[in-house]
């Protein structure tokens, strides 16, 4: 049967994309931002160079830290990799799919966040503690937006598995268009917040007191820090796949599906770069309002589907 032969090829491609592609996304965002500002900017492949450099560097550990400090980066990458197997990349089914995997998907990221926060607290630094508090507070508001979006899609597709939930949109027809736009809006906010992008956080700032995510990894170095950077880029791809899948039209050719997905990922990176070029960061006190807007958008999508 041709299907069974093709499927392992897809799976291999899926794994390759997960392992090799993510560092390209931050590079693309940085390039777009640089171009918008009239600068040449670093090479698109810069993060690959950085990872190679960090892999050869010695890690420095503070005397106050324990194994928890290392559990942050390792756990975050492990959780991200497992989560990546649950999400379909374009109109190709995910390597692993079962009823209810959406809950696992969401809480794998919850686990990653929990470990990152713990490893930040493990350093005993006042900066990292502040960052951990901010991360915990803001992610508590980002999570409902993600879940209400899932609820809306589950209602529309009568499924609790990511692959049918994200890919059945084309068939669902006009009735879904309104809720879909609202889910996209809510998730776009979640995407920016979860990935520590402007306007919620500034991944490029050097000002510790203003950081949310970045400040939690200030004490990491060498290979653990390489894992942190890779994990962050992985998150850009995996959460990005949620947004892209909702938008992509299905084609009859598998290779075209893949091309569309990769193209969509590139466009998403460009879009993030454009947002970051056009707007300043919110004041920290305004961030919850922004996240609540995400909850409202996803929540209304769910309400629309209930009536």
Partner 1 sequence: MNPTPLLPLRNGQAAPLREVPELPLAAFRAAVIGGVRGGQRLACLCADAERRLFAVLADDAAGTLRVGRTQVEGPRYRSLTPDCPQAHLFEREMAEQFGIVPEGHPWFKPVRSHRPWNGAADPWDRPADLLPAVMDFYRVEGDEVHEVAVGPVHAGVIEPGHFRFQCHGETVFHLEIALGFQHRGIERALAGGPHPLTFKMAETAAGDTTIAHAWAHCRVLEGLAGVAIPPRTELVRGVALELERMANHVGDLGALSGDVGFLPTASFCGRIRGDWLNLSAEACGSRLGRDWLRPGGLRQDLEPLLAERMFPRVGRSWMETRDAVELLWGAASVMIRFEAAGRLDSVQAREIGLVGVAARACGLDQDVRRDHPYGPYGAHPVKVSLAQSGNVHSRAWVRWEELAASTHFLFEALEELAGTPCDPTPVPLPPLAPESFCVALTEGWRGEVLHLGLTDAAGRFARYKLVDPSFHNWFGLALALRGEQVSDFPLCNKSFNLSYCGHDL
Give 306's contacts (C-beta < 8 A, 6+ positions apart). Answer: 155
Six-digit token string for 282: 């919110």
| Smallest separation (angstroms) from partner 1 to the CB of 271 | 15
Closer to partner 1 by CB, 210 or 251: give it: 210
Interface map 12-41 toward partner 1 (x if CB under 8 A): ---------------------x--xxxx--
Contact between 305 and 155 (Cβ < 8 Å): yes
| Smallest separation (angstroms) from partner 1 to the CB of 112 | 24
| Binding of residue 130 to partner 1 (CB under 8 A) | yes
Q: How far apart are CA 229 and CA 235, in angstroms?
A: 10
Contact between 87 and 242 (Cβ < 8 Å): yes
* Closest-CA residue to 287 (of 149, 206, 194, 214): 194
Q: Which of 158, 207, 306, 307 binds partner 1 (CB under 8 A)?
A: 207
Interface map 172-201 toward partner 1 (x if CB under 8 A): --------------------------xx--
SS3 142: helix
Closer to partner 1 by CB, 56 or 283: give it: 283
Contact between 76 and 231 (Cβ < 8 Å): yes
Closer to partner 1 by CB, 196 or 248: give it: 196
Closer to partner 1 by CB, 155 or 281: give it: 281
Q: Which of 11, 270, 271, 284 binds partner 1 (CB under 8 A)?
A: 284
| Binding of residue 292 to partner 1 (CB under 8 A) | no
| Binding of residue 280 to partner 1 (CB under 8 A) | yes
213 backbone dihedrals φ, ψ, rounded to 5°: -80, -45
| Smallest separation (angstroms) from partner 1 to the CB of 231 | 22
* Closest-CA residue to 93 (of 83, 85, 101): 85
Q: How far apart are CA 134 and CA 285, in angstroms?
A: 11
Q: Which of 174, 285, 306, 307 binds partner 1 (CB under 8 A)?
A: 285
Residue with tokens 């949310």: 212
| Smallest separation (angstroms) from partner 1 to the CB of 203 | 9
| Binding of residue 270 to partner 1 (CB under 8 A) | no
Contact segment (CB under 8 A) with partner 1 among 69-77, 188-196, 236-244, 273-281 equals 273-281
| Binding of residue 290 to partner 1 (CB under 8 A) | no
| Binding of residue 279 to partner 1 (CB under 8 A) | yes
96 backbone dihedrals φ, ψ, rounded to 5°: -125, 125
Give 240's contacts (C-beta < 8 A, 6+ positions apart). Answer: 25, 191, 265, 268
Q: How far apart are CA 278 and CA 30, in angstroms?
A: 14
Instruction: Give the distance, in angstroms, between the CA of residue 259 and the centroid of all CA atoms in the same chain.
Output: 20
| Smallest separation (angstroms) from partner 1 to the CB of 260 | 30
Report the interface residues with partner 1, using CB under 8 A. Answer: 33, 36-39, 126-127, 129-130, 198-199, 202, 204-210, 276-286
């Amino acid at each position: 049967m041709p299907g069974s032969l093709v499927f392992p090829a897809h799976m291999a491609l899926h794994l390759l994309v997960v392992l090799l592609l993510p560092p390209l996304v931050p590079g693309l965002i940085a390039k777009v931002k640089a171009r918008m500002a009239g600068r040449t900017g670093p090479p698109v492949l810069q993060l690959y160079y950085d990872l190679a450099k960090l892999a050869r560097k010695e890690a420095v550990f503070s005397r106050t830290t324990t194994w928890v400090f290392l559990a942050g980066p390792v756990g975050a990458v492990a959780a991200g990799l497992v989560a990546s197997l649950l999400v379909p990349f374009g109109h190709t089914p995910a390597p692993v799919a079962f009823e209810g995997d959406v809950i696992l998907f969401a809480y794998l990221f919850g686990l990653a966040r929990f470990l990152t926060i713990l490893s930040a607290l493990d350093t005993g630094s006042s900066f990292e503690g502040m960052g951990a508090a901010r991360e915990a507070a803001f992610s508590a508001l980002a999570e409902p937006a993600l879940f209400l979006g899932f609820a809306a899609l589950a209602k529309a597709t009568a499924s609790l598995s990511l692959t049918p939930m994200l890919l059945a949109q084309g068939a669902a027809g006009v009735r879904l268009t309104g809720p879909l736009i609202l889910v996209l809006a809510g998730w776009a906010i979640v995407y920016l917040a979860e990935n520590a992008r402007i306007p919620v956080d500034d991944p490029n700032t050097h000002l510790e007191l203003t950081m949310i995510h970045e400040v939690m990894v200030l004490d990491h170095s060498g290979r653990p820090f390489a894992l942190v950077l890779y994990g962050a880029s992985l998150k850009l791809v995996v959460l990005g796949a949620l947004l892209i899948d909702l938008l992509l039209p299905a084609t009859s050719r598998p290779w075209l599906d893949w091309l569309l997905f990769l193209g969509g990922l590139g466009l998403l990176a460009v879009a993030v770069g454009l947002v970051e070029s056009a707007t300043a960061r919110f004041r920290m006190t305004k961030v919850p309002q922004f996240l609540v807007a995400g909850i409202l958008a996803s929540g209304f999508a769910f309400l629309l589907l209930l009536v």
